[in-house]
Chain A
Amino acid sequence: MDCRIVQHNLFTYRENDLPPGITRDIEAHISECESCKKLLAGFQSVETLIEKDRAAEPNPFIATRIILYIENDLARQSKKRGLILRPILVTLTVLGAVALGYTIGKSGFDRIIGPVDNNNQIENLKTELYIHDFIDENTTLIINE
């Protein structure tokens, strides 16, 4: 058997995925060929290493570290969001205060002189003009006495 057949079938041979006939041939070849024996030993050392890696255990306290890291980052994020939102909130508060002041002022003004109606104003103005047209200043003085 050619050594290359062993080289090309290392994974399938070790995973028992080869037909029984080929497996037997490979085993017979390996038992006689020194270089394939070494290759198989090398492959097995790689397999052992993979097994060792799979059995590796992370630091048992890592969860605490991860949770702390997450909490700190989320807190930093919300702080950053607060810094962005603060000027917006201040602007909105000032605008709200101005709007509130205007509304209160307007309602107080309406309560004293009645609601502002442009038509009424013109009407009043017209009435005043009519009175001044017919009554002169002297007559007014007599009436007052």
Chain B
Amino acid sequence: MTDRELIEGVSRRDKAAINYLVNNYQKRVIKTAYYFIGNLEDAEDLSQEIFLEIIKSIGSFRGTSSFSTWLYRIIVNRSINVIRKNKRRNIFSSFERLFQKSGESEDITGQEPSNDCEPLDEKETRDFLNNAISGLPENQRIAFVLNKYEELSYKEIADIMNLSVSSVESLIHRAKSNLQKRLAIHFSQYSKK
């Protein structure tokens, strides 16, 4: 099925086209969302919303960019929205904890449920990596994740982010530089333990 046939089929709400869309793009949708959110189960839940948005807004796809680029835009936007929401929730819960003064509840809310089975070192590295990446400015984070995890070219990232290639280059350079600084601080502290 070509992209054109897929788009026409999905806009007709054709069952076969929708099945094709889900079966062929589920991995990309889930994994990209996972790279941003850092939790596979949350990414799987989010993928349902993403596919629904793709189906509902397929009429607005004008073909000025490739279908893949358009798809990435939706995934990135949705994932960023979830991160923003989580951030707001975290701020709210940290305020709540501040006023609660109960040591027990702090232990429960501070846990990362999805990474419990990982070895301690790996868990610590993951926490550091998640914090370091989520601490980057939004544009740097998007460019870095798409480049480092998705292995997209600067041109592809530029298309997705509606930026010039040189801007993307600069964003990725700054993201790496920021991460290097954090790495240096983190591992110098880690080695002192």
Contacts and interface: CB of A to CB of B under 8 A. Distances in A.
Interface of A: 7-8, 10-11, 35, 38-39, 41-43, 45-46, 49-50, 53-54, 56, 58-59, 62-63, 65-67, 69-70, 73-74
A39 B187 contact: yes
Interface of B: 13, 18-19, 22-23, 26-27, 30-31, 34-35, 40, 43-44, 47-48, 51-52, 55, 121-122, 125-126, 128-129, 148-149, 176-177, 179-181, 183-184, 186-188, 190-191
Consensus secondary structure, chain B interface = helix
Contact of A38 (B55, B180, B191): B191
Contacts of A7: 180-181, 183-184
Contacts of A46: 125, 128-129, 183
Contacts of B23: 63
A58 B26 contact: yes
A122 B188 CA distance: 110
A58 to B, nearest CB: 4
Contact of B18 (A11, A58, A62, A67): A67
9 contacts: A46-B129, A50-B129, A53-B35, A62-B44, A62-B47, A63-B23, A67-B22, A70-B52, A70-B55
Contacts of B43: 58
A127 B187 CA distance: 116
Nearest to B121: A45
A60 B163 CA distance: 35
B30 A58 contact: yes
Contacts of B129: 46, 49-50
